[in-house]
A and B are shown apart, each in its own frame.
Chain A
Amino acid sequence: MTRPLIGVLALQGDVREHLAALRDQGAEALAVRRPEELAAVDGLVLPGGESTTIAKLARRFGLLDPLRASVRAGLPVYGSCAGMILLADRLLDAPPDQETIGGLDVTVRRNAFGRQADSFESEIDLAGLGGTSLHAVFIRAPWVEEAGDGVVVLGRIMGGAADGRIVAVRQGNLVATSFHPELTGDRRVHALFVDIVRRHLAQQAGVVAGNEEES
């Protein structure tokens, strides 16, 4: 079985928890702060953290454009909370100059549930994970206000004032959640992402093998 090398963008945020979750799922995990580290990985996690800080550091250290190019080239990327904001094509309630990596055809509202006093944990059903519901932790979390046609909604809030709000999405190799699976012991979201990376690697290997046969 292949052992994919998956990076965690390590400019700021809960990097250690994502590294541990990826290793639990049989991936090699690497903290990524530089373009050459980004170039080495088969997939990337954008961790929870402060999205404005991460975006500014990515710009200052010359990582923002390589990140955008990697997403365009099909690199599998999973973003949790701040990571969802960074993957979004469009933002609401963000400073006017806030940049994102983009690639995910969604409009994301920052701090959509409110301030820290409104942060919460709750059960949600997540499509594609099978089995029981997932215990999810939402911290000053964003939600997806609008999703484009190519975006598959994986999960929504059930009940309460935010009933029906979209909190998990997938578009091809891009996955994003409003919540933090890295803060609980439930590894199913990371397992899903590692599986996406493995399939992407296998597909690429197939394409390379195909090209070799043609030549």
Chain B
Amino acid sequence: MSAQTPSTGTDRVKRGMAEQLKGGVIMDVVTPEQAKIAEDAGAVAVMALERVPADIRAEGGISRMSDPDMIEGIIGAVSIPVMAKARIGHFVEARVLQSLGVDYIDESEVLTPADEAHHIAKSEFTVPFVCGATDLGEALRRISEGAAMIRSKGEAGTGNVVEATRHMRSIRAGIRALGTMDETELFVAAKELRAPIELVALVAREGKLPVVLFTAGGIATPADAAMMMQLGAEGVFVGSGIFKSGDPALRAAAIVQATTFHDDPDVIAKVSRGLGEAMVGLNVSTLPADQRFATRGW
């Protein structure tokens, strides 16, 4: 038989990459040293960014893609996949990240949006994208633009899991509701979700998103990660929660173990001991509207 031309950048290869990350923890890092600590702790991937969300909140200003030198340094420091954040709608930052060889791009509300009407047309890229969502409609809109992985937005940099809980419950409840509908009702649901009917019908039929669903935004403890897994997350992003805590290496390893044994309270109790200070948290309900990241994107 003749040799075949291999195809890269297909939906199956992009979504399949996220399938390999399931049950794992992806950790925000800002330096190669932090990336090495994350890999040693058992992270399935690292997320390169300029500043962790807690520092973005504290320091203010415009938050952008990381320095290419820093991203290359992180890629050189670890053998696990390296993700990096681009601003919402900033398709040139995304092109730069693809050319640097990152394995996944997070089109992220944690950075300052570059476009207040349009997300990046993600299908055109070889590199896959993960996007945040607060509910099912937002998740399906991102998938229709080409996102190969979805995460809850939560409220990054707060160390407060309440918004991630809200978003995970909302996405899952939306999926369950579709499962009870007949075909004519699905057309109305698609209109209300502002999502393509084909995707809505697929989710109704399968009872799940067509891509992997992770959680993010405010996870600070092993128990937080385990709760999100029990709420239906297939894996966990941890941002400020690790490198803003007292003992990052120990806490990172504990969150990895609690994610695997999310349904075993004895393991979670064991790994939660002696972790030192958790990051200082923020009360989301007292955050002014302009300091909420989750409302960025649409």
Contacts and interface: CB of A to CB of B under 8 A. Distances in A.
Contacts of B8: 117-120
Given A49-B24, A56-B42, A57-B257, A119 B17 contact: yes
B39 A52 contact: yes
A10 to B, nearest CB: 7
A15 B23 contact: yes
23 contacts: A10-B260, A11-B23, A12-B23, A12-B24, A12-B260, A13-B24, A48-B19, A48-B20, A49-B23, A50-B81, A57-B257, A60-B257, A81-B20, A110-B79, A116-B81, A117-B101, A117-B127, A119-B17, A120-B7, A125-B1, A139-B13, A159-B4, A184-B12
A180 interface: yes
Interface string B1-24: 111111111101100110111111
Given A15-B23, A160-B6, A116 B42 contact: no
Tier of interface size on chain A: 35 or more
Interface of A: 10-17, 33, 48-50, 52-53, 56-57, 60-61, 81-82, 93-95, 110-111, 115-123, 125, 133, 137-140, 158-160, 163, 180, 183-184
Interface of B: 1-10, 12-13, 16-17, 19-24, 39, 42-45, 79-81, 98, 101-104, 126-128, 253, 256-257, 260-261
Contact of A95 (B10, B21, B44, B79): B79
B17 A116 contact: yes
Given A11-B260, A48-B19, 6 more contacts: A14-B22, A48-B20, A50-B81, A115-B101, A117-B126, A140-B17
Contact of B13 (A115, A119, A125): A119
**Does more than half of chain B's interface fall in helix, strand or loop, or is it mixed?**
loop
B13 A50 contact: no
Nearest to B103: A116
A117 B125 CA distance: 9
A57 B42 contact: yes
B205 to A, nearest CB: 16
Pairs A-B, 4 closest by C-beta atoms = A159-B3, A116-B103, A120-B6, A122-B6
A11 B198 CA distance: 34
A43 B261 CA distance: 22
A15 B212 CA distance: 13
Contact of A116 (B4, B128, B256): B128
**Does more than half of chain A's interface fall in helix, strand or loop, or is it mixed?**
loop
A12 B260 CA distance: 7
B7 A121 contact: yes
A116 B17 CA distance: 8
A141 to B, nearest CB: 10
Given A94-B79, A116-B17, A139-B16, A49 B22 contact: yes
B127 A116 contact: yes
A33 B260 contact: yes
Given A93-B79, A95-B79, A115-B103, A137 B12 contact: yes
Contacts of B127: 116-117
A50 B1 CA distance: 33
A97 B21 CA distance: 21
Contact of A160 (B5, B13, B17): B5
Contacts of A140: 17, 20, 81, 103
Contacts of B22: 12-16, 49
Nearest to B257: A60
